Amino acid sequence: MRILIVDDEPSIISFVDRTMRLAGYRTYTAPNAKVALEICEHNGVPDLLLTDFKMPGMDGDALAARLRQREPDLKVLYLTGFADQLFTERGALWRDEAFLEKPCTVNGLLEAVSMILSGDYGDYQDHV
């Protein structure tokens, strides 16, 4: 499984990338949506987009929408410190989307990724 990790915080990228690689996933990382789109041009759309919701420039929601033009079934896990804002702006999550609040634990991250990839979103689609 290929995961594209997008976040403007280097420490978050490092944590998520290391965790996913140790779990056996193939990862790509990007500090912003522009670089993420370039990665997808060269490597195709990933199986999972794991992205920050709020970023300078294009946010995670807009990035997901752009990538879904190429791959409508793209799964998206928003890793965000702004869960309330996500629900205020969006109203709800769409099919194949879930969220995990920052900060998160290794186990929480692994569980969320496993659930969204399997299609069983559990509590990760509910407003906290």
CB 2 within 8 Å of CB 46: yes
The answer to whether residue 11 scores a pLDDT higher than 50 is yes
- Domain that includes residue 50, residue range: 2-125
The answer to whether residue 32 scores a pLDDT higher than 50 is yes
Write down the pLDDT at residue 109: 95
| Tally of domains in the chain | 1
The answer to whether residue 123 scores a pLDDT higher than 60 is no
pLDDT digits (tens, 9 = 90+) for 77-110: 998 876 666 555 655 555 678 888 888 899 999 9
Segment 110-125 mean pLDDT: 78
Q: What is the DSSP letter of 94?
A: P
Write down the pLDDT at residue 100: 85
Side by side, the strands of the sheet bearing 26-30 are: 26-30, 2-6, 48-52, 75-80, 97-101
Q: For residue 128, what pLDDT band results from cuts at 50, 70 and 90?
A: very low
**Who has greater pLDDT, 17 or 121?**
17
Residue 96 and residue 77: Cα distance in Å, rounded? Answer: 8
The answer to whether residue 111 scores a pLDDT higher than 70 is yes
Residue 35 and residue 30: Cα distance in Å, rounded? Answer: 6
CATH of the domain at 29: 3.40.50.2300
